[in-house]
């Protein structure tokens, strides 16, 4: 079995190339940051 055949038969395990659109990931990440900041300020932890 050559190295090329080994890479072809190996199953995909997911990774950065199989993720959804990166803009959605950034928007959701910043939304989480804003929500956490609002929670911290409302609870008076800052």
**What's the pTM value of the predicted model, to 2 decimals?**
0.53
Decide if 3 is inside a domain. Answer: no
Rounded Cα distance, 23 and 15, in Å: 17
Is residue 4 domain-resident?
no
Domain count, the chain: 1
- Quick check: is 38 in a domain? yes
Residue range of the domain that includes 40: 20-46
Q: Return the pLDDT at 29.
A: 95
Does some domain include residue 43?
yes
Of 18, 20, 1, 19, the residue nearest 10 (C-alpha): 1
Bigger pLDDT: 27 vs 10: 27
Whether residue 33 contacts residue 41, with contact meaning beta carbons closer than 8 Å, is answered with: no
Q: Quote the pLDDT of residue 21.
A: 82
Cα–Cα distance for residue pair 4/17, rounded to 1 Å:
20
């Amino acid at each position: 079995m050559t190295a090329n055949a080994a890479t072809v038969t190996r199953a995909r395990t997911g990774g950065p190339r199989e993720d959804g659109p990166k803009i959605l990931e950034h928007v959701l990440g910043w939304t989480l940051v804003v929500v956490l900041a609002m929670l911290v300020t409302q609870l008076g932890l800052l």
